[in-house]
């Protein structure tokens, strides 16, 4: 039994700052350049075999019931292709990399960058409610009783949000991906704000996104300890202008205006595996 002591909820909040999170699919983004000169030099008689081999593997990955993959044709100078993979574990992501490396097509691909993360749902509201309840009952932070209550909350939330933790990879025509951080400078530091204030700002931030619910699908993945930024953001839509509208409007929220830092943006058009040959012939496949 944990030792009980009187504790004011605010005092407890100051000692327990990290919100609870739920994690789902492991995610890998691969940005590639295509060696067009080498591809043009390949005898025309060999190209169908290379395309068929790659298309067959990509089709299996697109249809994988335990986490899908998708191919995108990137716009701009940052790369030619982007592959996005949702899988159940990092081990499975590594297997995906190895399978792709075994393709003859990989001889014509040069990695530009990549991004590793896991789909993440932050539970600010539930965390604050739970922490206050435990403090009101005098439960010592991080005691066995505390950990049991946290585990129970996570189990219930995980069951309720399973479809958001393990979603199908959206089939929208356009994808916008970018990494981001919360500011940790001397003047402004997100991580020194009380959890209640961070929760308030995130709730306000989420209101904007919900107004675009019918136009864009947003998937947030956490990358602290996995990659160079703290989160990755994927936006899926059939009209790319919605990316500009949504992100611009969100810039006026306090959490973005004061505490957000952004990495490079990547925008691509989805290419079904069946249209790989069309893409490699120098034509953009038609939209779905």
Catalytic residues: 178
Q: Which 3-state string (H, E, C) describes the chain?
A: CCCCCCCCHHHHHHHCCCCEEEEEEEEEEEEEEECHHHHHHCCCCCHHHHHHHHHHHHHHHHCCCCCCEEEEEECCCCCCEEEEEEECCHHHHHHHHHHHHCCHHHHHEEEEEEEEEEEEEEEHHHHHHHHHHHHHCCCCCCCHHHHHHHHHHHHHHHHHCHHHHCCCCCCCCEEEEEEEEECECCCCEHHHCCHHHHHHHHHHHHHHHHHCCCCEEEEEEECCCCCCCCEEEEEEECCCHHHHHHHHHHCCCHHHHHHEEECCCEEEEEECHHHHHHHHCCCCCCCC
Q: How many CB atoms lie within 10 A of CB 17?
A: 14
Report the distance separating Cα 61 and Cα 274, nearest Å: 12
């Amino acid at each position: 039994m944990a030792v009980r002591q009187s504790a004011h909820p605010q005092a407890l909040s100051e000692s327990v700052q990290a919100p609870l999170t739920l994690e789902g699919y492991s995610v890998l983004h691969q940005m590639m350049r295509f060696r067009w000169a080498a591809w043009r030099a390949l005898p025309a008689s060999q190209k169908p075999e290379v395309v068929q081999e790659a298309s067959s593997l990509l089709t299996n990955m697109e249809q994988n019931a335990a986490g899908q993959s998708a191919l995108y044709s990137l716009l701009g100078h940052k790369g030619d292709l982007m592959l996005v993979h949702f899988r159940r574990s990092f081990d499975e992501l590594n297997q995906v990399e190895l399978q792709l490396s075994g393709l003859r097509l990989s001889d014509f691909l040069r990695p530009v960058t990549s991004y590793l993360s896991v789909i993440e749902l932050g539970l600010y509201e539930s965390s604050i409610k739970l922490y206050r309840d435990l403090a009101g009952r005098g439960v010592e932070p991080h005691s066995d009783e505390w950990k049991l209550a946290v585990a129970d909350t996570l189990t219930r939330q995980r069951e309720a949000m399973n479809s958001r933790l393990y979603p199908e990879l959206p089939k929208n025509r356009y994808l916008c991906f970018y990494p981001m951080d919360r500011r940790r400078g001397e003047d402004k530091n997100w991580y020194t704000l009380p959890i209640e204030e961070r929760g308030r700002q995130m709730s306000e931030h989420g209101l904007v996104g919900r107004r675009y619910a019918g136009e864009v699908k947003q998937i947030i993945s956490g990358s602290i300890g996995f990659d160079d930024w703290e989160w990755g953001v994927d936006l899926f839509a059939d009209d790319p202008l919605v990316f500009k509208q949504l992100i611009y409007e969100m810039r006026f929220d306090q959490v973005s205006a004061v505490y957000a830092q952004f990495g490079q943006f990547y925008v691509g058009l989805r290419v079904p595996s069946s249209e790989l040959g069309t893409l490699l012939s120098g034509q953009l496949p038609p939209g779905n």
